[in-house]
Each structure stands twice: as C-alpha cells, then as structure tokens.
Amino acid sequence: MVNKKGSSGSGIAAGVVVLVIIVILFLYGPYLLNSIGISPVPTATSLNHTIAVGVLSVNAPAKVSPSSTFGTTFLIANNLNGKAAKDIYFCLDNLGLFSILSSPETSSPNPNGNAITSGRCVSISSLATGDILSEAFTLSAPPANTYGNIEYSQNVGYYLNFSYVSTALQQLEFVSQSASTSGNYPPPTTQPSGVTAGPVEISSSSSQPVVYGQDMQLGISLNNAGTGIPIGNTYITISMNSSIINITAANDLGFSIKSFPNGTAVFSKSITISPTGASIELPISLSASEESKLSSLNIPYIQADIKFTVSYSYEQEGYFPIGLYIEPYST
C-alpha cells in the first residue's frame, strides 16, 4: 500500500511539472524561440481591415559583413476577412549596393505597376483568404572597397501588386405615404453591411426611407483606405432583383446589363479610382408592380437588397534597412 501511494504521489508530481512546462511554453514560447533565432509561423493573419494582401514580417539581418551572403524571408498573408487574391507579384527593388543571388521562381511584374530597376519579382498565382506564404531571397553584400569602408545603410524596398475583390450588401427601403405618416415601418439601413476587408472601402449615402412617389438617389463611394494606390481600371458590378427595383436609365450611365431567368439583373461598368477614390450616383426606381403595392394600405413598406462587387488591382510598398559593418584596418 505504501508503494502504491508513493507511485501515485510521484505521478501527480510529474503531472504538475508537465503542466507548468506547458504553461511556460505557452506564455513564453515565442520569446524563447526568438532568442535562439527561430521565428514561429503564425496560424492566422493579423492584418487590419483596410489591407487585402500584406507582409506580416520581414526576417532580415540588421547588419551584414562586406562580401557576405545572407538570407531574407518574408511572410505574405491574405486577410482572413477578405476574398481570394490573384495575380500577385512580390518584388524586391531599390537594392543599392546589394544584389540578389537567388529567389523563388520569378516573373515580370504587372505592367501597370512600378518599373523594376535592379530587383526581381516573384509571381504568385493566387492566395486564399487567411493563407500565409513564405518567400525567401538570398542576397549578397558588396566588398568594403565598393563603399569606401564607411558607415553604409540601404533601405531595401519591396512592393506587392495584386488583383482583389471587395463586396458589400445594401438594403433599400420604400414606404407608402400612409406608413410614412404613421411611422409604421422598420428603421432603414443607410450603410452597406457585410463589407469585406480590403483597401478599397465601399460606403453609401441616401435619403431613406423613400416615400412612395419620391425619387431616390443612391450615392456609392469607393474610398482608397489602404497605404497604396489602385492601378488600372476598376470593374464594378451591381446585382439586384429587377422585379422589385432597377437603375433608372442604366444604359445612359454607361452600364451594361445582364438579366437572368430568376429575375436577377447585373449591372456592370468600368471606372477609374484615383488615389483618393471614386463615386457613383445611382438613380433607383421601383418596378411598376411594386409601386402599385405601395398604393395599397395593406403594404406599408417594401425592402430590397443590392449587392456591390468591386474588382480592382492594387499596389503597396514597404522597405527594411540593412547596414554594413566596417572592416578593421590592417596594420
């Protein structure tokens, strides 16, 4: 019996030790890994809502010796709250006296983006939401006589060029005159909901609710909230139930229209987003059948949804410094 109690006590003590070790690793594991030169790979993105694709971290030495060879690794992520990214180009440039010895498979950058002077681009076909990709480059430092053996530091530049999609849903509300007088209708939603992450933010402005017999103007703003710039043309599509609402004089506004058997109508148009953004005014009208319903006291209000999809290309930049040690003078 004594031996059994001793064994049980030892087992409990061992279990407590294991638990303490697990807690220490959980709390201090990242710091321990960093202290021995190992960086833990994150399991989720930490990008804010105005970023689509971004660089989570740059693993590069702060200083290197002359004529040395060194590695630089980048963690590239797609926002967990966004859409799939396509046609991605990750490029290193502004190398100064440094040069690239090797890199992943390379490709020419998007012609709409920055021109590469001395660097190199990596082509990434696509990146799903929440995905993280590691890209490694091997660089070489110049000999000391190239920079006169004096203090030298270079801000090595990188940029991301990619295609992305942002979406949003807007609910519109039309009320009868009697419901407007009595206030017998739900409060309207004036801003889009379900807006996906990305540097091009979708917002709206309108006078809601729309009382029967009045016209409606829906203003759509595409704001550049990111750190880079939209490049090339942007393609916007607007989907709605055409049996309920429509864009008045859509053809005159430059929209092409595609109708489907289920009653859905898709309006599409190519626009240009400046560095600050773009805006569109949409005159919205109820269909004749829905207007007749609002003239009846039995139908106080009608709600309809509009979905916006904005497809665009985007480019953003960053940099990291690398310094050079000075060689000791020979005697």
The CATH number, out of the four listed (1.10.760, 3.30.390, 3.30.70, 2.60.40), of the domain defined by the range 164-313: 2.60.40
Spatial neighbors of 101 by CB under 8 A, at least 6 apart, are 69, 138, 139, 140
pTM, rounded to two decimals: 0.79
User: What CATH class does 53-163+315-324 carry?
Assistant: mainly beta
Q: Band of the pLDDT at 321, cuts 50, 70, 90?
A: very high
Task: Please compute the mean of the pLDDT values over residues 278-290 and round it to a whole number.
Answer: 90
Reply yes or no on whether the pLDDT at 161 is more than 50: yes
- pLDDT at site 54: 94
Reply yes or no on whether the pLDDT at 260 is more than 50: yes
Spatial neighbors of 48 by CB under 8 A, at least 6 apart, are none
Q: Band of the pLDDT at 110, cuts 50, 70, 90?
A: low
* Largest Cα–Cα separation, the chain: 101
Show me where the domains of the chain are located.
53-163+315-324, 164-313
Q: Do domains 53-163+315-324 and 164-313 have the same CATH topology?
A: yes
CB contact at 8 A, 214 and 280 = no
Number of H helices and E strands in the chain, helices first, is: 3, 17
For residues 146 and 331, which has the higher predicted lDDT (pLDDT)?
146
Reply yes or no on whether the pLDDT at 9 is more than 70: no
Token reading at 16: 């407590």
CA distance to 156, 193, 194, 277, 316, per residue, from 82 (Å): 28, 14, 11, 19, 17
